Amino acid sequence: MAILSIKKLSKNYGAIRALNQVSFDVPPKTVFGILGPNGSGKTTLLGIVMDILKATEGTYEWNGESSSPAIRKKIGTLLETPNFYHYLSAVENLRIAARIKEADEDDIPRILEIVNLYQRKDSKFSTYSLGMKQRLAIASTLLGDPDILVFDEPTNGLDPAGIAEIRELIKELNRKGKTIIMASHILDEVEKVCTHVAIIQKGILKAVGSVREVMNTGGEAGATEAALLVELGAADLTQLRTVLDKMPGIESIADAEKGLLVVCPESLGTAAINKWCFENGVVLDKLEIKRKSLESRFLEITGSKSDK
């Protein structure tokens, strides 16, 4: 059974359609990334499933049940910067949070160990680095030992060291059996930490599945055929682009540093591309299969660098 099942979710703000018929399931014990640029609808989606916002259309269920206060109490949530008291220590701040959540205060030392803050448990919040402050925020979501964690942009505003800290913490929490749902616009971080991903653009679901499936399949959400990312070079790149644009099966063409990046079904193959170009008057001086990254896949899916 899916941890979270979303069915045809839509949200309108007047004439603006922030979410448009979004549907997907979050498998248990995964790190599920909701990926998209700022304004794509990620935060709106999280706000709806946490009952902060009301959907215009559609439904969602947690573990097969409609949302309720009892269910939400079993979910650790970090949707905005928490209001910690700067003059209090980590322990004192978490005690306040535990009382609000009606969680066991005796669990605080264990939680601080998990987020690697136990040695600084008595330090004032004002002395913490940004990464430490974010780890304390995640610690507050662990009060009550929830099996599901929901984070909105958990690495936003952090330096590289802080990002690495949060990345490793999320991976460790997942290894302990937690299901983590996180929204982010940082593609590299999602690729490093997430097992599954949903890509949203302008409120529309563009792709969903495991990170491997999304990186290796072409086109729209639900596509199943593996895709190739190929870098091509020739003396005349304008002519090369024109020839490739007419080739059946080519899904997108993007600029590369010294050539063109082409996405096509794996069944098409590089031999067919080489043959097509040669028969149309273009001799390739480069034909190389590239390792696909989530960033390149995102650009293919959203069309950000595609002429099509």
CA dist., res. 112 & res. 131, Å (int):
14
- Whether residue 259 is predicted with pLDDT greater than 50 in this model: the reply is yes
User: Do both 185 and 276 map to the same domain?
Assistant: no
- Please provide the average confidence, as pLDDT, over all residues in the chain: 88
User: Do both 20 and 107 map to the same domain?
Assistant: yes
User: Do both 120 and 170 map to the same domain?
Assistant: yes
User: Do both 136 and 254 map to the same domain?
Assistant: no
- Chain segment 123-134, per-residue pLDDT in tens: 999 999 988 999
CA dist., res. 118 & res. 104, Å (int):
17
Q: Which amino acid is at 67?
A: S
- Whether residue 185 is predicted with pLDDT greater than 50 in this model: the reply is yes
Nearest to 255 by CA among 265, 266, 247, 244: 244
- Chain segment 47-75, per-residue pLDDT in tens: 999 999 999 999 999 999 999 988 988 89
- Whether residue 295 is predicted with pLDDT greater than 70 in this model: the reply is no
CA dist., res. 144 & res. 62, Å (int):
18
- Chain segment 71-120, per-residue pLDDT in tens: 988 899 998 777 899 999 999 999 999 999 999 999 999 999 999 999 99
The pTM score is: 0.75
Q: Provide the CATH number for the domain around residue 205.
A: 3.40.50.300
- Of all residues in the chain, what percent carry a pLDDT higher than 90? 64
- Chain segment 201-232, per-residue pLDDT in tens: 899 999 899 887 787 654 444 444 566 778 99
User: Do both 17 and 100 map to the same domain?
Assistant: yes
* Confidence (pLDDT) at 305: 41
- Whether residue 180 is predicted with pLDDT greater than 50 in this model: the reply is yes
> What is the count of structural domains for the chain?
2
Of 214, 236, 262, which residue constitutes the final position of a domain? 214
CA dist., res. 140 & res. 90, Å (int):
10
CA dist., res. 292 & res. 215, Å (int):
7
User: Do both 73 and 38 map to the same domain?
Assistant: yes
* Confidence (pLDDT) at 227: 67
